[in-house]
C-alpha cells in the first residue's frame, strides 16, 4: 500500500514538472467555425468566375404564373424560385420591365437568378406606359404580395428584399429604393428617369449603362444617377461597351455576372462574392466605363 501511494505521488509530481495535462472533454473542445455559421444567409457553394457566368446556378428551379386579377397594385407576373425546401429561406427580388415592354423582355433573368438562390418575381405593370415612379410603387406592391400572400411566401426571408428593372423599370428600382430604404439592394439596367439625382438612397445600388444607348443616353441618365448617390453608399457603375439600350432584353453574361454578385453580396450578405465586385473590373473590351465606391464595408 505504501509503495502504491509513493508511486501515485511520483506520477503527479512528474506531470506537474513536465507540464503534462489531461486532454479536455469532447464537449469542451473548440469546434471549427464555418462561414455558414458566421452568416446563416449563405446559399450555394463558394463562387467562381465559371459559376457566376453559367446560365444556371446550383439550384433546380421552377416557376408559377400570377394573374393580374389575383393581385392589386401591379399587373401580375411570373415567380421563379428554387425547388429545394432544405436550404432555409431565400432573399427575393422584384423586377420591372421597361416602357411598353412586358415581363417576357426580362424572362431570361428569372431562372438564371433563381438558380443562384433567390426568389425572383418579374412583373407586368398595370400599363405598359407607366412612368418610373409608378413602376417603383408597383415593385414594392409586388414584394408585399410575395412575402404576404403568394404561394411561395414560406420560402422567402421578408427581411432580405431587392428590386431590379430595365429602362423605366430601372428608374423604377431607384424610386422603390428611395421609398423603402430597408431594401437590401437595387439593380438598375440601362435606367431611364426624369429625376437625375438620388442622394437620399440608402440601398446599395448597381447601375449598368450601355455605351451606345440612344434611348437613355448614359450622359443624361446612368452617369448622373450614379454620381448623385452618396459617396458613402456601396455603389457601382458598369458601362457595357458598344451595347444598346436593349442589351438587358437578351441573355447577357456581364449583366448576369454583376447582378448575381451584387445580390449575393448585399441581399445574402455573402462576403464570398466580394472579390467579384472589388476591385471593380477594368475598362476594356467588356466595359467602356467603370466607377465604384470599393471597398464596401
Catalytic residues: 167, 213, 245
What's the rounded Cα separation, in Å, for the pair 280 and 258? 10
Contact 228, 199 (CB under 8 A): yes
Residue (of 259, 239, 210) closest to 95 by Cα position: 259
Three-class secondary structure of residue 281 per DSSP: coil
DSSP helix/strand/coil, 80: strand
Which residue's entry shows cell 464555418? 34
Question: In 10 A of CB 222, how many CB atoms?
Answer: 26
| Cα gap 256→240, rounded to integer Å | 12
Q: How far apart are alpha carbons 118 and 112 in whole angstroms? A: 9
Locate cell 457553394: which residue? 45
The length of the chain is 297
**What three-state secondary structure class fits 20?**
coil
Amino acid at each position: 500500500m505504501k509503495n502504491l501511494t509513493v508511486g501515485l505521488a511520483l506520477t503527479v509530481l512528474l506531470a506537474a514538472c513536465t507540464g503534462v495535462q489531461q486532454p479536455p472533454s469532447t464537449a469542451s473542445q473548440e469546434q471549427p467555425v464555418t462561414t455558414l455559421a458566421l452568416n446563416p444567409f449563405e446559399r450555394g457553394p463558394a463562387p467562381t468566375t465559371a459559376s457566376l457566368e453559367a446560365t444556371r446556378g446550383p439550384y433546380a428551379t421552377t416557376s408559377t404564373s400570377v394573374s393580374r386579377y389575383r393581385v392589386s397594385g401591379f399587373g401580375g407576373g411570373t415567380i421563379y424560385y428554387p425547388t429545394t425546401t432544405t436550404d432555409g429561406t431565400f432573399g427575393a427580388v422584384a423586377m420591372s420591365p421597361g416602357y411598353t415592354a412586358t415581363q417576357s423582355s426580362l424572362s431570361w433573368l428569372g431562372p438564371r437568378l433563381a438558380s443562384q438562390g433567390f426568389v425572383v418575381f418579374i412583373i407586368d405593370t398595370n400599363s405598359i406606359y407607366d412612368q418610373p415612379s409608378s413602376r417603383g410603387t408597383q415593385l414594392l406592391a409586388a414584394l408585399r404580395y410575395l412575402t404576404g400572400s403568394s404561394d411561395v411566401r414560406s420560402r422567402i426571408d421578408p427581411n432580405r428584399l431587392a428590386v431590379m428593372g430595365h429602362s423605366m423599370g430601372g428608374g423604377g428600382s431607384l424610386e422603390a429604393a428611395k421609398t423603402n430604404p430597408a431594401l437590401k439592394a437595387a439593380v438598375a439596367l440601362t435606367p431611364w428617369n426624369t429625376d437625375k439625382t438620388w442622394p437620399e438612397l440608402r440601398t446599395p445600388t448597381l447601375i449598368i449603362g450601355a455605351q451606345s444607348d440612344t434611348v437613355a443616353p448614359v450622359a443624361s441618365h446612368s452617369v448622373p444617377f450614379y454620381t448623385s448617390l452618396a459617396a458613402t453608399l456601396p455603389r457601382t457603375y458598369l458601362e457595357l461597351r458598344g451595347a444598346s439600350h436593349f442589351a438587358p432584353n437578351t441573355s447577357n453574361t456581364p449583366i448576369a455576372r454583376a447582378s448575381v454578385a451584387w445580390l449575393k453580396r448585399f441581399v445574402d450578405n455573402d462576403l464570398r462574392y466580394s472579390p467579384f465586385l472589388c476591385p471593380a473590373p477594368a475598362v476594356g473590351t467588356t466595359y467602356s466605363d467603370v466607377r465604384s465606391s470599393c471597398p464596401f464595408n
